[in-house]
Amino acid sequence: MEDEKIQELMMKVVDGVASPEEEAALADAIKGSERYEGELRAFKKIREVTANMQFKELPDSYWTGYWRDVYRRTERAIAWIALSIGLMVVLGFMAYTGLSRFYSDPNVSMVLKIGVSAAVLGAVIMIGSITRERLFARKHERYEKEVER
Amino acid sequence: MILMSVIRGVKEFTGLDDAQLMIEVQQGSPVAFRVLVERYKKKAYYLALKLVGNPDDAYDLSQEAFIRVYNARKRYDSTHPFYAWFYTILRNLARNHLQKRSVRLEYAVRMSRIRKKNPKVSASPECIMQADEAKRAVWGALEKLQYEQREIIVLRHFEDMSYQEIADFLGIAVGSVMSRLYYARRKLRDLLGEEYGR
């Protein structure tokens, strides 16, 4: 019997979902194989231990306050988004107004205008670059680890 | 008066199934969202606990998953089971959390060499279960598994899900579930050492 088939049957036997025929087929296939017989014993033992694991109940106070916490956090998340958008609009508008006045002022020297333009351009590129890097990292790091075999 | 209407609202929504509740949530009903949270809060917490191994983090992550559900409510497709969709959100949160935690742990290990302290990020098994030596050993080994291996063990051993259910949850074939389970169990046995025949 192929290894893959043996492993599948072994999983079924360990999980108690194998038919009598499948159990007999597995017993027959691994007879004399130290590796598979050892694995089967170990897997059954692990299954037995985990079957008896009882997780502690949290105190009732956690459950009664659960919804309140979720509600508060949802509310704050919405408030935070609204605040951020508002601040961005206000700051953007202030920057636009300030820069418009700055560039239209004939008393400001051309050298200063070029210097400020370079600084603004640098800031925009920097923010764009950091945002792109963050988005890329969020998209790829999450799935980079594969199952170890 | 308001309280009575909320209580009446909760009672009214309790009889609805998950998809119907989500449709109500999509239409802006906070009461329907509350019913959904109350329905799944314990299941979400214990699943998160088994995935991340720390009660405080599990509590926080399970709540965060509900918040994400609310924020993404418009994207929910009511023809698909709600819990599978919720689980996808929760597992992504758990996986990201563990990755960040391992980075933090690496940093703590480096710092501990300087400060000669023993860093500990996970809760001890006694904090989360009635543990004897065998359970402590298995839980300790489980925490050392890679996320995908730990997850498959949690879903099969603790959530008691069938191979088909796991396959639907993870979006993989049943054969892959069994194969992943086999390698996860083998890795677990290797980590447990001699007492388990290794």
b (16+ CB within 10 A) / e for A79-92: eeeeeeeeeeeeee
Q: pLDDT tens, B89-98?
A: 999 999 999 8
B188/chain A closest Cα distance in angstroms: 9
Read out DSSP for A31-47?
TT-HHHHHHHHHHHHHH
The per-residue pLDDT for B187 is 93
* Nearest chain B alpha carbon to A49: B135
Q: pLDDT tens, B102-133?
A: 666 666 666 666 555 555 556 666 666 666 78
Of A39, A58, A69, the CB nearest to B189: A39
CB-CB neighbors (< 8 A) of A45 in chain B:
196
Q: Which two tokens stand for residue B172?
A: 């993989």
Q: Where is pLDDT greater, at B6 or B186?
A: B186
The per-residue pLDDT for B15 is 80
Alpha helices in chain B (DSSP H): 2-14, 18-26, 30-52, 55-71, 82-115, 125-128, 133-144, 147-153, 163-170, 174-192
Q: What is each CA distance from A149 to B53, B88, B148, B186, in whole angstroms? A: 23, 23, 11, 9
* Position A144 pLDDT exceeds 50: no
Is the ipTM of this structure higher than 0.85? no
The per-residue pLDDT for A142 is 47
Query: Which region among A8-17, B105-114, B137-146, B172-181 has the lowest average model confidence (pLDDT)?
Result: B105-114
Average pLDDT, chain B: 84
Q: pLDDT tens, B138-152?
A: 888 888 899 999 999
Average pLDDT, stretch B154-158?
A: 92
Q: pLDDT tens, A55-111?
A: 888 888 888 889 999 999 999 988 999 999 999 999 999 999 999 999 999 998 999
b (16+ CB within 10 A) / e for B45-60: bbbbbbbbbbbebbbb
Beta strand extents in A9-142 (DSSP E only)? none
Task: Say if A129 is an interface residue toward chain B (CB within 8 Å).
Answer: no
* Nearest chain A alpha carbon to B98: A142
Average pLDDT, chain A: 87
Average pLDDT, stretch B146-166?
A: 92
Task: Say if B76 is an interface residue toward chain A (CB within 8 Å).
Answer: no
The verdict on a CB contact (< 8 Å) between A46 and B197 is: no
The verdict on a CB contact (< 8 Å) between B63 and A66 is: yes
* Position B49 pLDDT exceeds 60: yes
The per-residue pLDDT for B127 is 63
Give the closest residue to B33 by CA, choosing from B71, B59, B88, B85.
B71
The per-residue pLDDT for A85 is 95
Q: What is the DSSP letter of B16?
A: S
Rounded CA separation B116/B57 (Å): 26
Task: Say if B130 is an interface residue toward chain A (CB within 8 Å).
Answer: yes
Neighbouring CB atoms inside 10 A of A71's CB total: 18
The verdict on a CB contact (< 8 Å) between A67 and B92 is: no
Task: Say if A141 is an interface residue toward chain B (CB within 8 Å).
Answer: yes
* Position A25 pLDDT exceeds 80: yes
The per-residue pLDDT for A137 is 75
SS3 state at B175:
helix
The per-residue pLDDT for A147 is 38
- Domain coordinates in residue numbering, chain A: 3-51, 109-149
CB B103 within 8 A of CB B119: no
Task: Say if B193 is an interface residue toward chain A (CB within 8 Å).
Answer: no
Mutation site, B43, B67, B93, B164, interface A, largest A CB count within 10 A: B67
Across the A/B interface, how many CB contacts are shorter than 8 Å?
A: 116
Rounded CA separation A72/B19 (Å): 24
Prediction pTM value = 0.74
Task: Say if A50 is an interface residue toward chain B (CB within 8 Å).
Answer: yes
A137/chain B closest Cα distance in angstroms: 12
Average pLDDT, stretch A39-60?
A: 87
Query: What sign has the CA pseudo-torsion B92, B93, B94, B97?
Result: positive
End-to-end distance of chain A based on CA atoms, in angstroms? 21
Task: Say if A55 is an interface residue toward chain B (CB within 8 Å).
Answer: yes
| Segment holding B57, helix H or strand E | helix B55-71
The verdict on a CB contact (< 8 Å) between A147 and B70 is: no
